[in-house]
Amino acid sequence: MKIYILVWLSLVILTGIAVSAAGMDWGGWSLGVALGIAFLKSGLILNYFMHLKDERGLRLFRWMVPGILAILILFIGLTFFDVAFR
């Protein structure tokens, strides 16, 4: 139960960091910082609230989420390969 509250506190702190970072001018880095924090927060939720790290039923569980993210990144990459060179 303690771990849930700790994870929640980290999520709130990360949100605070994301909001205050948006107030500063980081140039091209700001999107990276915002997305980095978002991925960190989802990682915390997936592993602790959704218990992905304890899922022992099937080995497949470990690879499903990274797999789907890889597919998405592949599609985003291919889309931009098209858009950027038009």
Partner 1 sequence: MMETHKNDIGSTFGMWLFLLSEILLFGGLFILYSVYRYNHSQIFHLAADALNRPVGALNTLILLTSSLTMALSIFFLKNRRPERSLFFLFLTIFLGLFFLFNKYFEWASKVHHGVYPNAPGLLERERGEVLFYGLYYSMTGLHGFHVLVGIGLLSVMFVFILRGKIDHERILPLKNTGLYWHLVDIIWIFLFPLFYLIT
Binding residues for partner 1, rule: CB under 8 A, are 1, 4-5, 7-8, 11-12, 15, 18-19, 22-26, 30-31, 34-35, 37-38, 41-42, 45-46, 48-50, 55, 57-58, 60-61, 64-65, 68-69, 71-72, 75-76, 79-80, 83-84
Residue 45's alpha-carbon distances to 20, 63, 75, 81, in angstroms, are 22, 17, 24, 32
Half-sphere exposure of 35 (CA within 13 A, CB side): 5
Q: How far is the CB of 21 from partner 1 (least distance, A)?
A: 8
Minimum CB distance to partner 1 smaller for 53 or for 79 = 79
**Contact call for residues 66 and 39 (beta carbons, < 8 A):** no
